[in-house]
């Protein structure tokens, strides 16, 4: 596998080695193994060394993967169309909270479009755990936005603690939550852990699951009306309801919108998907070794959208809709937005916008792999989920 991937340079390898040493020390202190979710957390979020906490390029053609906002303005423009009615219903004190701001590309287009739609929130908050990304966002947005718009942006150290009304948005966030991994042995639920092998590398291990994970696995089995066979391995986020309640903070009236890749529960845990959905991204290559080069690669797992629906409704919100990214974007004006940007673009740039639209919507690209799910309380999304709603698949 390593032979198929471009080798990191010596500086990057030294960086990874420092993080690997910290993880080995933690494994030793824990008695020889840590849960896989903890290993994933350390790889992604260790201050100064984790994938999302260090300074390497992650987004775009020069990074490891491309997110929808990095392709161009169309994705964020359509999201603005979807949430503008909600912000207008809530009035001049409405707020917008973006979880994980990436490069700042989404916020730039989003704010410009909301200004055009007369739906600018009183505050645009970004909850960004990475200090490096926060500074990149601040530099970009300060350069790209007019001062009155830039002035409403606020970077948060934690979720809003006080009551607020508005919209929470997260694109490709849940897939990066540190996830437990489980398997079945003699009908019992085991949790996957990480230990240090004889040669010093990381290896997989197993131990009996705690009550929370075991109960979550049994819940999935009851929902799917089928027991997992011995040896079946996958991921499950029993902490998802707690995470959602934490990041929404004091959200009272308003909406939540999530876009990510994943499946409804019955498709997520298909018999043939018996190794789960965990994968790593490095230099636009996808592979299956999460132990390779800690801190230099992204580690993700697909989203169980049925679990997300349960978490949102249990938090007191109504499920507003669930559909593919293609349906969501087309239902929120993608064709009109494409025509607008083409009309303003030089001939050489028009093809770039058409290619962007294709990557966002084609089934072989992002169109079907990514889905959108919305929740609402005391507001209505309007037409946001009227095209090809798939809630019946949940």
pLDDT in tens, 74-125: 999 999 999 999 999 999 999 999 999 988 999 999 999 999 999 999 999 9
DSSP 101-164: -TTSHHHHHHHHHHHHTT---SEEEEE---HHHHHHHHHHHHHHS-HHHHTTEEEESSS--SEE
- For residue 65, the model assigns a pLDDT of 54
Distance between CA atoms of residues 220 and 217, nearest Å: 5
Which tokens is 383 given? 């037409």
- In tens, the pLDDT along 126-168 reads 998 888 889 999 999 999 999 999 999 999 999 999 999 999 9
- For residue 117, the model assigns a pLDDT of 97
Distance between CA atoms of residues 112 and 69, nearest Å: 14
Query: Quick check: 46 and 52 in contact, CB under 8 A?
Result: no
Domain with CATH 3.40.50.12710 in the chain: 2-52+178-240+273-300, 68-176+241-265+303-393
Query: Quick check: 157 and 129 in contact, CB under 8 A?
Result: no
Which tokens is 369 given? 């792999």
Query: Quick check: 148 and 122 in contact, CB under 8 A?
Result: no
- For residue 62, the model assigns a pLDDT of 47
Query: Quick check: 192 and 233 in contact, CB under 8 A?
Result: yes
- Please indicate whether residue 72 or residue 192 has the higher confidence score (pLDDT): 192
- In tens, the pLDDT along 160-219 reads 999 999 999 999 999 999 999 999 999 999 999 999 999 999 999 999 999 999 999 999
Nearest to 191 by CA among 177, 178, 172: 178
Tell whether the model's pLDDT for residue 63 goes beyond 50.
no
The conformational region for residue 304 under phi > 0 = left, psi -120 to 50 = alpha, else beta, is beta
Which tokens is 360 given? 């966002």
The b-or-e profile of 209-220 (16+ CB within 10 A means b, else e) is: beeebbebbeeb
CATH of domain 2-52+178-240+273-300: 3.40.50.12710
Distance between CA atoms of residues 375 and 241, nearest Å: 14
- In tens, the pLDDT along 238-283 reads 999 999 999 999 999 999 999 999 999 999 999 999 999 999 998 8
- In tens, the pLDDT along 220-230 reads 999 999 999 99
Query: Quick check: 116 and 161 in contact, CB under 8 A?
Result: no
Q: What are phi and psi of 217, to 5 degrees?
A: -65, -45
284 contacts: CB under 8 Å, gap ≥ 6: 61, 64, 65, 66
Tell whether the model's pLDDT for residue 296 goes beyond 50.
yes
Distance between CA atoms of residues 273 and 295, nearest Å: 27
Q: Please, which pLDDT band fits residue 382 given cuts at 50, 70 and 90?
A: confident
- In tens, the pLDDT along 316-338 reads 999 999 999 999 999 999 999 99
Q: Please, which pLDDT band fits residue 284 given cuts at 50, 70 and 90?
A: confident
Tell whether the model's pLDDT for residue 288 goes beyond 50.
yes
Tell whether the model's pLDDT for residue 55 goes beyond 60.
no
- For residue 201, the model assigns a pLDDT of 95
CATH of domain 68-176+241-265+303-393: 3.40.50.12710
Q: What is the dihedral of CA 156, 106, 363, 340, to 10 degrees?
A: 150
Residue 55 DSSP label = S
- For residue 56, the model assigns a pLDDT of 52
- Average of pLDDT values for 34-56? 89
Q: Strand locations in the chain, DSSP E? A: 34-35, 95-99, 123-127, 153-156, 163-171, 181-185, 188-196, 202-208, 233-235, 250-263, 279-282, 285-287, 298-300, 303-304, 318-324, 370-377
As a whole number, the mean pLDDT across the chain is 93
- For residue 212, the model assigns a pLDDT of 96
- Please indicate whether residue 26 or residue 286 has the higher confidence score (pLDDT): 26
Distance between CA atoms of residues 197 and 291, nearest Å: 12
Does this model's pTM top 0.75? My answer is: yes
């Amino acid at each position: 596998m390593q032979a198929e991937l471009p080798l990191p340079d010596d500086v990057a390898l030294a960086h990874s080695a420092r993080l690997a040493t910290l993880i080995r020390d933690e494994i030793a202190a824990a008695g020889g193994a840590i849960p896989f979710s903890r290993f994933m957390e350390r790889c992604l979020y260790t201050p100064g060394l984790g994938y999302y906490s260090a300074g390497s390029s992650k987004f775009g053609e020069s990074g490891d993967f491309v997110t929808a906002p990095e392709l161009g303005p169309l994705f964020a423009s359509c999201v603005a169309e979807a949430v503008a009615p909600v912000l207008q219903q809530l009035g001049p004190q409405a707020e917008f909270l973006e979880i994980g701001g990436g490069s700042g590309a989404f916020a730039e287009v989003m704010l410009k479009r909301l200004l055009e739609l007369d739906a600018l929130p009183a505050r645009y908050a970004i909850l960004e755990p990475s200090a490096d990304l926060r500074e990149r966002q601040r530099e970009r947005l300060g350069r790209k936005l007019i001062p009155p718009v830039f002035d409403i942006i606020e970077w948060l150290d934690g979720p809003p603690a006080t009551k607020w009304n508005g919209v929470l948005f997260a694109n490709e966030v849940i897939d990066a939550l540190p996830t437990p991994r489980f398997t079945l042995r003699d009908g019992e639920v085991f949790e996957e852990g990480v230990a240090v092998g004889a040669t010093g590398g990381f290896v997989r291990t197993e131990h009996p699951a705690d009550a929370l994970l075991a109960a979550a696995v049994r819940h999935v089995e009851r929902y799917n009306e089928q027991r997992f066979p011995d040896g079946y391995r996958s991921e499950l986020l029993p902490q998802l309801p707690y995470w959602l309640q934490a990041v929404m903070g004091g959200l009272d009236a308003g909406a939540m919108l999530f876009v990510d890749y994943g499946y409804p529960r019955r498709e997520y845990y298909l018999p043939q998907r018996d190794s789960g959905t965990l994968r790593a991204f490095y230099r636009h290559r996808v592979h299956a070794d999460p132990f390779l080069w800690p801190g230099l690669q992204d580690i993700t797992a697909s989203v169980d959208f049925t679990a997300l629906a349960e978490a949102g409704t249990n938090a007191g919100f109504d499920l507003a809709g669930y559909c593919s990214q293609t349906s969501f974007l087309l239902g929120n004006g993608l064709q009109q937005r494409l025509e607008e940007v083409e009309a303003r673009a030089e001939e050489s740039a028009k093809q770039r916008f058409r290619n962007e639209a294709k990557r966002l919507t084609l089934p072989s690209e992002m169109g079907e792999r990514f889905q959108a799910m919305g929740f609402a309380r005391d507001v209505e999304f309007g037409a946001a989920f009227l095209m090809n709603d798939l809630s019946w698949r949940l």
